[in-house]
Amino acid sequence: MIEIRESDFSVDDVIARMKKREVGAIVTFLGTVRSRSKGREVEKLQFETYKEMAMGKLGEIKEIAMRRFEIEDVAIIHRVGALAVSENIVLIAVSAEHRKDAFAACEFLIDELKNVVPIWKKEFTPSGEYWIEGEG
């Protein structure tokens, strides 16, 4: 499952869909909007994307992870639009027979997402708006 969407998502629903008899581990990464960044108070974030290209890149990194690691399935959901503090931004879930590959694949996927997927983030603070490049 790969999605780019404006609406929120359910972590529990994604995990439930990934549970299978052969799976012994499901590792998740959930990114949320934090209230501070670089010493500044954050009021909200705005995410924008070139959706067609982003979906293609997400598919590519999923396929690389499926080949590189011994994993069963991958789910990647990223939100776009304006998000308030504590809202969900991104979910990566990886299922595998064993935890080591699930952890390694999950880390690989979030790192690659930040490096190659065209999704841009703007922070809104009391002192102004700032485009953020390649930061987590």
For the stretch 108-130, pLDDT in tens is: 999 999 999 999 999 999 988 88
Strand 44-49 and strand 119-125: the pairing is antiparallel
Pick one of 3.90.1170.40, 3.30.230.30, 3.40.190.10, 3.30.70.1290 as the CATH number of 2-132: 3.90.1170.40
Kindly tell me the sign of the dihedral angle through the C-alpha atoms of 91, 92, 96, 101: negative
pTM comes to 0.92
Residue 136 pLDDT greater than 60, yes or no: no
- Assign 133 a pLDDT band (cuts: 50, 70, 90): confident
Kindly tell me the sign of the dihedral angle through the C-alpha atoms of 134, 112, 75, 4: positive
For the stretch 44-91, pLDDT in tens is: 999 999 999 999 999 999 999 999 999 999 999 999 999 999 999 999
Q: How many CA atoms lie within 13 A of 86 on its CB side?
A: 0
* Domain ranges for the chain: 2-132
